[in-house]
Structures are given as C-alpha cells and as structure tokens.
Amino acid sequence: MNQPQPERIVIATRESRLALWQAEHVRDRLKSLYPRCSVELLGMTTRGDQILDRPLAKVGGKGLFVKELETALLDGRADIAVHSMKDVPMTMEPDFALVAISARENPLDALVSNKYAALEDIPPGGVVGTSSLRRESQLHARFPSLSVSSLRGNLDTRLRKLDEGQYDAIILAAAGLTRLGLASRIRAMLPAELSLPAAGQGALGIEALSSRPEVAAWMAPLADAGTAACVLAERAFSRALAGSCEVPLGAFAEIAAGRLRLRGFVAAPDGSRMASAELHGEQADAETLGLKLAEELRKHGAEEILAALAG
C-alpha cells in the first residue's frame, strides 16, 4: 500500500541565519517532493542561543540547541526538527529518532582572517578565536606559540568580532560559510590532518518522534546513504568515548572505493596529550567501526586523557 502524501509539515528550527537556511533548504526539498503539501517553519530561540557569555562546555553542551525543538515535536507544534548534525547530542532520548541525514556539505574547518592566509603565517602570540575545545586542543598541539581565545555567537557575530580586530583569525566550519554565501571569507581550508572535524560536521539531520513512522517515510527521499554511514560511524566513536562539548574530540569518516575510512582523536584541552588512530571498514558496518576505533584509542592512552578531564 502506498504511503499517503503529507498535507502539512511543520519544521521546528532555531532562528539564527544559518539554522533558518538549513530549515528552508529542507522545506524547499519537501515542497518539490510533495507539491500539494503546506510546509511551514516554526522559529524558536534555544538556551544555546541565549547563553553567549560562556563556553558551551561550561553550560550544558550541545543539547542546549535541540531541547526546545524537541519539546515542539512532543507537544505536536512541529512534525520535524532540522539540525546541524554536529549539534545533536550523541545519545538521544528514546522518544526521538533521526529519520534522515542528508548529503554532506564540505565537512572541513576553515581559517577566516583579514590578515593571514594560513595558520603558519600568524606570528607568535597571535590570537585565534574558536568556541570549540576540539579545535583549541589541535591548535595548541600544532601551533603552541598561538593564543587561543573563546569565540561565541552566531556566524555573523563571530565574523563581526573578527572584523572589529578582536582576533587575528578565527576558525569556523566551512559548511556554514558556504551555505550562507560567505565562502569568499575563507582564507584557507584546514585539512583533516591539521584540524580533524567534529562528528557530523557539514551534515544536516532531520529529527522526528519515534512514534511517527509516517513522518520517517515522508523524509526517506531526503536521506543520503553514504553521508549517513559516515556520520553514524563518527557518532558511534564519539558516543563510546563520552563525546560532548566537555571533551576535545574529533571524528571524521569518508568513503573511498566503496570503503569507509574513519579517523578519530581525543586530547587534553591544552594539546599536551593526544590519542589518535584510524580504521577502515565496510559502510554497512559503520557503527561497529566507530566502536572499534574507540577501543583502539583506549589502547593509545585515551582512557588516561578522559580520566584527567573527568577529574
């Protein structure tokens, strides 16, 4: 029996410019799939958007960006929520499900600077802005002469702070800059060897209630199998090592010749200790590969690093 086509879909979204772009992108794809369906946005402000004076790691982590949207799903005001996958907590409540992960934009980090074309060009003591412990730990490890300073706010706010001269350079996700038509601000793309991305970076996830299989069926055409395999591997790795804003951790999977290559690391925030490894496997075994890589890192000292962070 054919699945009845939806008549109305409401998308819960944060109200930052990037979040709205993402929700509008999904809305437009749904409208092309279901021309008779009314697709609406429900804009919301989350706790993560309101708390801008402290690092996320200090105030509860990435879940602050999704809680209000999930409440809208639970009380029926929205059918789906659209997220940057790197903002979705690694462990989800059973009420909710990721019903589609769409094709990934560029997953890498990008250097944005009005003065310097590369990290190597920034003189000792130069100030680099980032809100991410993952980026901070890798900067400290590879460029110990640079000063790393906290940078919060939406994309436009971060760029404004750079333009005001508060930083010599800032590091942002290339995907967000590209999606908002700001790719011209990128001075250098940072290869994964230099700045390993966050789990899910560059991918969009669509969340719905687990109890609504019809919504999952509506969203199925938006899913990208290759991206989903990569993101599931990254998230399994991160989840196995208690990945959150409080842990400097990166995970990056890519597909080459039909096989999955997964790299991961965990580090001390100051970059003084780092455990890293990579594994290769089949796409169908994505989550198992993530768990295996986490075990591999434990053999390379991850346990001690995590214990020090917890202590």
State the catalytic residues. Answer: 87
Phi-psi category of residue 306: left, alpha or beta, with phi > 0 → left and psi -120 to 50 → alpha? alpha
DSSP lists the bridge partners of residue 173 as 109
Residues in contact with 311: Cβ distance below 8 Å, sequence separation at least 6, in sequence order: none
For residue 14, the one-letter residue type is: R
Contact status, residue 260 vs residue 253, Cβ threshold 8 Å = yes
Report in angstroms the alpha-carbon separations of 187 from 28, 143, 146, 285.
31, 18, 18, 37
The strand pairing partners of 263, in sequence order, are 252, 278
Sign of the Cα torsion 221, 183, 188, 205 reads: negative
Residue for token pair 């990208």: 224
- Give the three-state DSSP class for 52: coil
